[in-house]
Amino acid sequence: MKIETRLEKLGIELPDLAGGAYYGQTYGNMKSHHIAGNVLYLSGHTPVRDGKVIHPGRVPSEVTVEQGYEAARITGINMIAGMKLALGDLDRVKGLIRCLCFVACEPDFNDVHLVSSGCTDVIAEVFGQPVGIGGRATIGVQSLCDRMCFETMAEVEIA
């Protein structure tokens, strides 16, 4: 099944990042992606929709684990939009190599993996196994830009 068809079946609408709409450039001099050989390197993606940060704050004091999971899921959808921006055709994705995830949280919060699963779960839903399953590391941090509770960057194998 084509990825665009799967997105439609899942009811997932990708934001359009074309025309310089990649929101990461708001935070500094960077590009949305880089392709080297058969690897797509994606810059940081965050839970931003229509210019608004979804669930700002630290987990679990200001953002619940469930809200953090939702923010990470939105980030995963944004990351898929970043893949589409870079590749034009999502069917060129051969495999998720890895995601490096950051969760803004309180120092004693140890369940950062429960938040980052929102991102990797949606990637797995959209691309299926084994393509949508890759390596992942999640790091708890004190803060992220604009009080975001989640951010990720990724490497993707492409055709």
What value does the mean pLDDT take over residues 45-64?
95
DSSP percent split of the chain into helix, strand, coil, nearest 5: 35, 30, 35
Which own/partner pairs from 27-31 qualify as long-range (CB within 8 Å, at least 24 positions apart)? 27/145
pLDDT band at 133 (very low <50, low <70, confident <90, very high): very high
Domain extents in the chain: 3-9+42-158
> For 91, what's the count of Cα atoms within 13 Å in the CB-facing half-sphere?
6
Give the pTM: 0.95
Q: What is the pLDDT of residue 143?
A: 96
CA–CA separation, 78 and 80 (whole Å) = 5
Q: Which helix (H) or strand (E) holds 140?
A: strand 135-141
Domain spanning 3-9+42-158: which CATH class is it, in words? alpha beta
- Give the tens place of pLDDT for each residue, 17-27: 876 666 666 67
- Give the tens place of pLDDT for each residue, 88-131: 999 999 999 999 999 999 999 999 999 999 999 999 999 999 99
Buried b (16+ CB within 10 A) or exposed e, 21-50: ebbbeeeeeeebbeeeeeebbbbbbbbbee
